[in-house]
Amino acid sequence: MTVDVKATDRRPFGFWTATAMVIGGMIGAGIFVLPAQLAPYGATGAVAWVAAIAGAVVIAWVFSRLFAARPETTGAMAAVADGLGPLPAMLVAWSYWVSLWCANAVLALTASRYLAEFWPWLGSRTIVSAGAALAMLWALTLFNLLGARDAGRLQVVTVLLKLMPLVVVVLILAGLALTDPGRFSANGHAPFEPVQLTPALGLAFFALLGFECAGVCAERVRDPGRIVPLATMAGVVVTGALYLLVSTGIVYAMPQQALADSGAPIALFVGEFWGSKAGLLAAAFAMISALGCLNGYVLLVGEVPLGMARAGLLPRWMARTSSRDVPVAVMLIASALASVLILSNAFRTLSGLMTFMLNITAAATIWLYIGACASAWVQRVARPWAAVGFAFAIWVMIGTGWEALAWSVVLMLTAVPLYWLRGRGATVAD
């Protein structure tokens, strides 16, 4: 049997690598804050997780079929452009960029909340937590200006550490199920309320963002028509089941109000059952996870506009890079915008600030899913699934709230003047 080495180099990702990309793309900061945000919803939160996972599976399937049908497609923007044209694709890509720097605000604030477990004064006031979040955001922004290689090394160090607190939570929940099952029904949580399902869904879906990773990189996957759908489905189901178990288990094992008031629900839960030192250790790993994700997103937030500018869809100045091939101007603009997002809501309650940022990040990302489903419908790819995925994405968008939806539209439309000012010429060569 002869192995095509060149083909293998061109498409190095097999099933396990592609699945790891999906899981790695999904597990970020969301699961470390959502038990507190969903605690007031009680049983409605558990149903929201099930609905979010089911919807993510449908949209992930649309993504995987879309990329499998055209394995030569170079990314999500190109897949949307194939069906809807360059301007809608540019708007979707810009909205995705908006979601990245919004996510940076969420990640920085999450790290700040867990850091407050060591220095409680950091969590004494929302403005203080916001200040700590800004310090971490800008420290990693400056670090990324050194170049992608150093940022990549930090990412490798943090990628496995973020799983450790979740494994500890699963072990504790398993122990409770065996030794004290009555604990899960003793705290009097809110019953299922259909009217609360939509806003709870908007929050839960945030933690599932990123399931499109294998499809986006379909050109790097061997046999994409077979492996991309399998890896995507496996990653969504495994991660979704883990989230459902961890979040719902914590919500039902803890008093509702105590959990809702916590800035670090994972640390609170671990500390309750394994002692304060274990809780602090879980907080440390959660903070490392958030910082690791923040590092990766700060890097990515410069790459998306860079690719768009080089494709001739944005002004040429956005494609300028430093001697280390870093798009300095774009990266600084993104971090400045994330800072404005944090500060503009810094006088809400800490829970209110986090909920707003979770919702606006989800709303900005969902435009990508809406665009992909619409593109699949136009291209006659998995049409029934595309219709269901489109309807589900609209439902989630409503769940994020009208304020977040309005902001996502306004921020997405800021790309239109840049598109008009991009100048003539197809690409930027340098």
Residue 426 lies in a domain: no
Q: Is residue 428 part of a domain?
A: no
Taking the C-alpha atoms of residue 330 and residue 336, their distance in angstroms, rounded to an integer, is: 10
Alpha carbons 169 and 286: distance in angstroms, whole number: 12
φ/ψ bin of 6: left (φ > 0), alpha (ψ from -120 to 50), beta (otherwise): alpha
Give the model confidence (pLDDT) of 159-208 as tens digits.
566 778 888 899 999 998 888 888 887 677 788 899 999 999 988 998 88
Cross-strand bridge partners of residue 427: none
Pick from 51-55, 133-137, 181-185: least confident: 181-185
Instruction: Give yes or no for a contact between 65 and 381, defined as CB atoms under 8 angstroms apart.
Output: yes
* pLDDT band at 373; cut points 50, 70, 90: very high
State mean pLDDT over 345-351: 67
Least confident of 3-7, 15-19, 213-217, 370-374: 3-7
Task: Evaluate whether residue 175 is within a structural domain.
Answer: yes
Q: How many CA atoms lie within 13 A of 30 on its CB side?
A: 27
d(CA 343, CA 403): 17
Kindly calculate the radius of gyration of the chain based on its CA atoms and give it in whole angstroms. Answer: 21
Is the pLDDT at 390 greater than 60, yes or no? yes
Confidence band, pLDDT 50/70/90 cuts, at residue 16: confident
Is 425 within the bounds of a domain? Answer: no
From first CA to last CA, the distance across the chain in angstroms is 42
Top-confidence range, 308-317, 387-396, 421-430:
387-396
Supply the range of the domain harboring residue 55.
5-420
Span 107-125, average pLDDT: 85
Mean pLDDT value across the chain = 81
**Tens digit of each residue's pLDDT (9 = 90 or more) over 71-103:** 666 566 677 778 888 888 888 888 988 988 998
46 occurs within a structural domain: yes
Find out whether 97 and 314 touch, Cβ atoms under 8 Å.
no
Q: Which helix (H) or strand (E) holds 136?
A: helix 126-144
Contact between 95 and 263 under an 8 Å Cβ cutoff? The reply is no
The per-residue pLDDT for range 235-269, each reduced to its tens digit, is 888 888 899 999 999 999 888 888 888 878 898 99
In a domain, 429, yes or no: no
Query: Which amino acid would we find at residue 97?
Result: W
Q: Is the pLDDT of residue 142 over 50?
A: yes
Helix-helix angle 163-179:276-310, to 10 degrees: 140
Please give the pLDDT value at position 338: 92
- The least confident of 10-14, 297-301, 411-415 is 10-14
Q: Rounding to the nearest 10 degrees, give the CA dihedral for residues 183, 184, 187, 192.
A: -170
Query: Does 410 map to a domain?
Result: yes
Q: Which two tokens stand for residue 81?
A: 């452009």
Please report whether residue 427 resides in a domain.
no
Q: Are 400 and 362 in contact (CB under 8 A)?
A: yes
For 117, residues 6+ apart whose C-beta sits below 8 A from its C-beta are: 264, 267, 279, 280, 283
- Assign residue 19 the CATH number of its domain: 1.20.1740.10
pTM above 0.85, yes or no: no
C-alpha closest to that of 369 among 101, 132, 111, 80:
80
Average pLDDT of span 218-245: 80
Which residue is it, tokens 């800004």? Answer: 134
d(CA 337, CA 365): 16
Structural domains in the chain (count): 1
Q: How far is CA 289 from CA 45, 184, 218, 285, 296, in A?
A: 24, 28, 26, 6, 11
